[in-house]
Amino acid sequence: MKAAILIGGQGTRLRPFTLESPKPLLPVLNRPFLEYQFRVLRTHGVREIVLCTAYRADDFRRTFGTGRRLGLKLRYIRETIPLGTGGALKNAERYLADSTSLVLNGDVLNAFDVRAFLRFHRARRAEISIALTRVKDPTMYGLVLTDEKGFVRRFLEKPSWDEVETNTINAGAYLFEPSVFGHIPPGKTYSLERGLFPERLAQNAMMGGWVAPGYWIDIGTVEKYLQVHLDILEGRTPFKAGGAKGLKSAAGARVTAGPGVSVAAFARFSGAVSLGRGVRVGRGAQLCDCVVLDDARIGDGARLDRCVVGARARVGTHATLGPGTALAGDSRIGDYSQL
Ligand code: GDD
Ligand code: MG
């Protein structure tokens, strides 16, 4: 089976970090996020992947090339203007239209069982099947209502609270039969979630809704981007982080560090912390539940709590960064300042 991954969005809710990198390439524990999805696909024998790019398209080819290094065959499609999730997929028709294909959003992480999903889809002779997950706040996602046989009855993108009738949402993974492509208009902006899914339901198409068990996250906001690091480091996912052996100051905390990291005396870590390549942590700095991207410098005595520090940023001595702070790459925070 072939797969397509939708990776053309601008990642506006994850600014400032997505101003210098598309969301699916942001590092998660020192690896491009998309590599985690690639690994799930490879585990299930999916090696041919079409990447539907728009925003910062060249960054993807530069990072993954042909995919050989990863044991994959990657193809790239580039939109000159963003065509939405449906328009992007229509462009991949020539690669996908010969058999059932898997389609993924490029910002979700879910170690789901592709084969079980396919069995579900075939058993229902569905035209489209949607993987589902349960969340506390469905208003940020696509709400999906199913019947007792596992068929989708309603698809409502970004519902308001008074429209929330279930906690199952679209997990951003689909199985599509080739016939679906005939229902997507060519050469124009079109949404799967606001266009194709509700329209095919209104036309009584067979649409399956399969609840994917296990861990799931969409890394689309700064809070969720931080959360995926904490979840992996604290063992709530099936994914592993490389350890940071030899960091004495990491006692009791879960810390992962890229190459070339230096940590000065009396620095203290607690909770889960991810340090990118070449990060320098000053004397007596205190870091709790945070992500520090490549080559950032944390000054002596600085305190970081539940925040993300961008690449090459400089945090002055004794500065304090509180929960939710998202420090842009290359920025400077003065000594003793508080954010
Ligand atoms: N090629 C291309 N072109 N890709 C796009 C475009 C486009 O114009 N617009 C969005 N994408 C890609 C994004 O890069 C992302 O990987 C994926 O499509 C989903 O877009 P998001 O912007 O992250 O959507 P969302 O998170 O608000 O909602 C979507 O995902 C939820 C699950 O995480 C919807 O599919 C919801 O229904 C779903 O619940
Ligand atoms: Mg998203």
For ligand 1, atom 31: residue with the closest CA = 141
**Ligand 1 center from residue 220 Cα (angstroms):** 9
CA–CA distance, 169 with 133 (Å, rounded to integer) = 6
Question: Which pLDDT score, from 0 to 100, does residue 231 have?
Answer: 96
Cβ–Cβ under 8 Å, residues 257 and 279: yes
Which residue ranges form the domains of the chain, and what is each CATH number?
2-221 (3.90.550.10), 248-333 (2.160.10.10)
Query: Which candidate, 224, 231, 269, places its Cα nearest to that of 108?
Result: 224
Q: Is 50 in the pocket of ligand 1 (CB under 6 A)?
A: no
Cβ–Cβ under 8 Å, residues 138 and 153: no
Cβ–Cβ under 8 Å, residues 53 and 8: yes
Print pLDDT tens along the chain (339 aa). 999 999 999 999 999 999 999 999 999 999 999 999 999 999 999 999 999 999 999 999 999 999 999 999 999 999 988 899 999 999 999 999 899 999 999 999 998 899 999 999 999 999 999 999 999 999 999 999 999 999 999 999 999 999 999 999 999 999 999 999 999 999 899 999 999 999 999 999 999 999 999 999 999 999 999 999 999 999 999 998 766 655 766 778 899 999 999 999 999 999 999 999 999 999 999 999 999 999 999 999 999 999 999 999 999 999 999 999 999 999 999 999 999
In this prediction the pTM is: 0.95
Question: Which pLDDT score, from 0 to 100, does residue 3 have?
Answer: 97
Q: Is 78 in the pocket of ligand 1 (CB under 6 A)?
A: no
Q: Which ligand is nearest to the CA of 157?
A: 1
CA–CA distance, 329 with 5 (Å, rounded to integer) = 27
Q: Is 169 in the pocket of ligand 1 (CB under 6 A)?
A: yes
Using alpha carbons, list the distances in angstroms from residue 216 to 109, 117, 208.
Answer: 6, 15, 19
Question: Which pLDDT score, from 0 to 100, does residue 266 have?
Answer: 94
Question: Which pLDDT score, from 0 to 100, does residue 115 have?
Answer: 94
**Ligand 1 center from residue 12 Cα (angstroms):** 11
Residues 6+ apart with CB under 8 A from 19: 328, 329
Q: Which ligand is nearest to the CA of 78?
A: 1
* H/E segment holding residue 144: strand 142-146
CA–CA distance, 234 with 252 (Å, rounded to integer) = 12
Query: Which candidate, 157, 150, 98, places its Cα nearest to that of 122?
Result: 150
Q: Is 6 in the pocket of ligand 1 (CB under 6 A)?
A: yes
Q: Is 105 in the pocket of ligand 1 (CB under 6 A)?
A: yes
* Ligand 1 atom at shortest distance from the alpha carbon of 13: 22
Q: Is 218 in the pocket of ligand 1 (CB under 6 A)?
A: yes
* Ligand 1 atom at shortest distance from the alpha carbon of 220: 23
**Ligand 2 center from residue 224 Cα (angstroms):** 10
Residues 6+ apart with CB under 8 A from 15: none
